[in-house]
Amino acid sequence: MRYASPSPRLISRLLCTLPQKLTNLQFQVRERVLKEARCWLTEYLHSARAIPFSHADSIVSNAPFSLSAFVARIPFPPSVVGVDLKRIFRRFLTYHPLNEYDFFFESIGLPPSSSSSTAVSAYPSDFLSDDGLLLATASALVHYGFPWTKLGLLYREEPRIFSSGSDKLIPRLLTFEARGFHRACIIGICLAFPSALSADADPGGEIDHLFQYLNKVFLDFDLSQSVPENNVDIFLQVCRNIRVFYDLDSRKGTMGELMCKNLRKIFLELDAALIAQKLKFFINLGMEASEAGHFILKHADIFNTDLENPSILMPEYLKSIGLKKDNVATLSGSFPYVMGKNKLGNLPATLKAMNLHNWFLGKILNGNLHYLSPEFILTSSHDTSSEKRFRHGLERLKSARMNKFLDKKVEFLLSIGFGENELTLRSVSALQGPNDQLQGRFDCILGLGIEYSMVCRMVNTKPIILKQCKNTFREKVDFLCNDMGFSLEYLYHFPAFLCFNLENRIRPRYKMLNWLKEHGLLNKSFSPSTILTYSESKFVTTLYRLHPAAPKQWLERHSYRVDRDGNQISLFSSRPVPKDQA
């Protein structure tokens, strides 16, 4: 059996989640050397760099990636049995200074492969002692009660906190206590809302609005009494859940009462990612973000409903939610690529692909939330023959193409509103690239101002349009609208326009037509669907019918291709086209 080798992207992602391999050490001694290196570096930071021992221990013990990278660079002898490792470490640091920021930023919770490298680049030195304010701020926060390994939550969002100094931070934290919050609650609030430590403390400003909001949740409704007083982790989880709604609440404070009335269990037991998933479902249906927050808080049963995994079947589901048979038949004929099985989590995309999302949202808001219940969905899904045909076709496609990643591409098409059907199988065979790139290209086309349902229709008609990069889409649409004078609606009738090469086909042919117009040789207009789909020979024949001299002008001045260096090469003379003639 043949297995596809992992992609370079996947390999690099895996390497970023694993400490560096110690190929310079025998396997049997690696653990011992790492342990001694950890102890020696802790003592080094304390004695040589004058960092308090507790901080030095936190920095080294919580930075396994940096520790492995340090040990991997040391040229150990073939055998380290009986060797003075401390002497080797000391000698190595004599010629290779330790970048203490790598250790520090990893230890406070920043990913060593991304965020910490960005943070380190902001500091010109390798030594923490050269920036006393950074370490002093971290020390003050830890002494107040902040967990060392969670300080990265503050730095990632508000790095200026670490240049504030303890003389500003501690008084601010004490003012929070004066508002009636106990210390563990304050720490959870600051970790979830880092701006509480960095924003201006003006009366009526951002901090006042935030704590008025939190007063309703923690104090007025006694939510803090449901949390163990010294459990920072639970307070952080609660505050993260609160922030999901706070960021959505355009009328700051209006969700406070909704959060607390009979909903303490939601904030104590649910994860912020699950809450965000529920919100995303209704936002994708067309609901405003702030309204979605109010809606799911008013209908707390949504949190117990699986809005992701239940299967829906089109067009049967459309019939069950109240559409007449004639309308369902019309939709099935207009959007055949949407029909078939899909997940409930993709229902918003499926409805948008048919322009039904606003109609369905109205149904939900008018008291038909049961349309999303698993029991209701189960009664509208009973056709298994189409699913079997789809699976059989997919397996044949995998066998023919020997591509085990087709499942991922099917997943992408289902996520944008396609169903399990023959048209989806046809489209999936033309897609290239990982799902995040395909989604980025799809979103780019949407961002150009084209309706969602029309983008889906374009993908169904010409799935190869998703092979192109985002800049290519923008350049082609810009040329279509500004140079050729067509509106975006023309793409609804001729989506293949986005498939033609701009520099080697679209631009040269329209330059030739403009030349004919300037010389009064063009008496009728040609649509893009005509002039671009002509083969080279047919296009030259068309030019000859317009004027016998036109083909010569085309071949000498306008028929060219653009090479990798951006040079225009004439297809007729095989020489670069002069810039004044291009």
| Highest mean pLDDT out of 53-57, 485-489, 541-545 | 53-57
13 or 332: whose pLDDT is higher? 332
* Residue 570 CB neighbours (<10 A): 19
- In the DSSP assignment, the letter for residue 305 is S
Tokens, residue 225: 């009494």
Per-residue pLDDT at 14 exceeds 50: no
| Highest mean pLDDT out of 71-85, 109-123, 125-139, 315-329 | 315-329
The answer to whether the CB of 394 falls within 8 A of the CB of 406 is: yes
CA separation for the pair 337, 424 (Å, rounded): 6
The answer to whether the CB of 154 falls within 8 A of the CB of 183 is: no
Question: How confident is the model at residue 259, as a pLDDT?
Answer: 62
Question: How confident is the model at residue 82, as a pLDDT?
Answer: 75
Per-residue pLDDT at 372 exceeds 60: yes
CA separation for the pair 559, 25 (Å, rounded): 62
Which phi and psi angles does 568 have, rounded to 5°? -90, 115
Continuous H helices in 158-271? 166-178, 183-192, 206-214, 232-248, 256-260, 264-269
The answer to whether the CB of 487 falls within 8 A of the CB of 481 is: yes
Question: How confident is the model at residue 116, as a pLDDT?
Answer: 46
- Which helix (H) or strand (E) is 94 found in, with range? helix 85-95
User: What percentage of the chain carries pLDDT values higher than 90?
Assistant: 29
DSSP structure string for 492-517? HH-GGGGGS-IIIIIHHHHHHHHHHH
User: pLDDT tens for residues 237-286?
Assistant: 888 888 888 887 655 555 656 665 555 667 777 788 888 899 999 999 99
Q: What does the chain come to in residues? A: 582
When pLDDT is averaged across residues 415-437 and rounded to a whole number, the result is 90
Tokens, residue 264: 């303490």
User: pLDDT tens for residues 378-396?
Assistant: 766 666 677 788 888 888 8
CA distances from 203 to 200, 206, 212, 432, 472 (A): 9, 9, 12, 55, 50
Q: What is the pTM of this model?
A: 0.76
CA distances from 324 to 320, 327, 368, 480 (A): 9, 5, 17, 40
CA separation for the pair 191, 59 (Å, rounded): 19
Question: How confident is the model at residue 60, as a pLDDT?
Answer: 93
Question: How confident is the model at residue 261, as a pLDDT?
Answer: 59
Question: How confident is the model at residue 561, as a pLDDT?
Answer: 60
What value does the mean pLDDT of the chain take?
A: 82
Helices (H) and strands (E) in the chain, counts: 33, 4
Question: How confident is the model at residue 416, as a pLDDT?
Answer: 94
Taking each helix axis as running N to C, give the angle between helix 435-447 and helix 470-478, from 0 to 180 degrees, rounded to the nearest 10. 20
User: pLDDT tens for residues 391-425?
Assistant: 888 888 877 765 667 888 999 999 999 999 999 99
CA separation for the pair 463, 431 (Å, rounded): 7
| Highest mean pLDDT out of 141-145, 263-267, 569-573 | 141-145
User: pLDDT tens for residues 503-514?
Assistant: 888 888 888 888
Rg (CA), the chain: 32
Query: Reduced to 3 states, what is the DSSP secondary structure of residue 342?
Result: strand
User: pLDDT tens for residues 461-481?
Assistant: 989 889 888 888 899 999 999
